[in-house]
Amino acid sequence: DAGVIQSPRHEVTEMGQEVTLRCKPISGHNSLFWYRQTMMRGLELLIYFNNNVPIDDSGMPEDRFSAKMPNASFSTLKIQPSEPRDSAVYFCASSPTSYNYGYTFGSGTRLTVV
Amino acid sequence: SQKIEQNSEALNIQEGKTATLTCNYTNYSPAYLQWYRQDPGRGPVFLLLIRENEKEKRKERLKVTFDTTLKQSLFHITASQPADSATYLCALASGGYNKLIFGAGTRLAVHP
């Protein structure tokens, strides 16, 4: 398996533009998670899905952020409009629903909003 | 409020020694705890999981302990090597559906 695949690896955009981050989880994993990592705040959970259904989006910073999982093999995280304070590394992770397993993280998308 | 604390200062040790990293938590009752390794520019990599009813878990040179009374987990790397240099994150299960909350991590530097 190729692991969790995220795209793009790097994104530089101007303030006010729409940004879409993509994630392909590992086949067979029922849970998918979006995290954001910054030096100041560490790894923050934004939202997670179970069987394609959003379970908890309490970590989403504000209405500018939205996430979808239209099927078991694809998820997107969208920021519209983007702001400089959104600059961070965004990670997608997946896991089986069972509590016996750790997460598999993607390589992340480094987002810079100028 | 809920809090996960890991040493913010880097841990510097000599090759061959045992590295011990600490994870303390408050206002959680986690069913289990996990440890991850993160290298610069990469995503975290899962290392070990320990459940609340387990005191200790081992994997090769790694050992994790979990004391729910002290609300603390210790992560040990024996016979450390320069290749073990990385940031190590602890994570607690919070709520259902295998949801993890991460600590800030501790950077380990193993010197030859």
Cβ-based interface (< 8 Å): residues of A facing B: 4, 31, 33, 35, 42-43, 45, 48, 50, 55-56, 91, 93, 95-108
Residues B102, A42: C-beta atoms closer than 8 Å: yes
Nearest CA in chain A to B40: A107
Q: Which long-range contacts (CB under 8 A, 24 or more apart) does A52-56 make?
A: A55/B97, A55/B99, A56/B95, A56/B97, A56/B99
Nearest CA in chain B to A49: B97
Average pLDDT in the A12-38 region?
Answer: 96
CA A46 to chain CA centroid, nearest Å: 7
Q: Is A1 exposed, middle or buried (0-12, 13-18, 19+ CB in 10 A)?
A: exposed
Residues A43, B98: C-beta atoms closer than 8 Å: no
User: Dihedral of CA B103/A104/A53/A88: which sign?
Assistant: positive
Chain A interface mutation, best of B98, B99, B107, highest count of A Cβ atoms under 10 Å = B98
Q: Does B112 touch chain A (CB under 8 A)?
A: no
Reported confidence tier of residue A101, pLDDT bands at 50, 70, 90: confident
- Mean pLDDT, chain B, integer: 92
| CB proximity list for B103: less than 8 A, separation 6 or greater | A42, B4, B5, B6, B23, B89, B90, B91
Nearest CA in chain B to A33: B99
Count residue pairs from A and B with Cβ separation < 8 A: 60
Whether the per-residue pLDDT at A38 is higher than 80: the answer is: yes
Residue A88 to residue A90: CA distance in whole angstroms = 6
Angle at B3 between CA A86 and CA A23, to 5 degrees: 40
B69-98 tens-digit pLDDT: 999 999 999 999 999 999 999 999 876 667
Whether the per-residue pLDDT at B29 is higher than 70: the answer is: yes
Which residues of chain B are within 8 Å of residue A107 when distances are taken between CB atoms?
A: 42-43
**Within the 39-68 window of chain B, which residues sit less than 8 Å (CB to CB) from chain A?**
42-47, 49
Q: What's the pLDDT score for residue B97?
A: 60
What three-state secondary structure class fits B79? coil
Average pLDDT in the B93-112 region?
Answer: 87
B46-63 tens-digit pLDDT: 999 999 889 899 999 999
Q: What's the pLDDT score for residue B31?
A: 82
Q: What's the pLDDT score for residue B111?
A: 96
Q: Is A34 exposed, middle or buried (0-12, 13-18, 19+ CB in 10 A)?
A: buried
- Mean pLDDT, chain A, integer: 94
Ordered DSSP codes for A6-63: EE-SEEEE-TT--EEEEEE--TT--EEEEEEEETTTEEEEEEEEETTEEEE-TT--ST
Average pLDDT in the B98-106 region?
Answer: 90
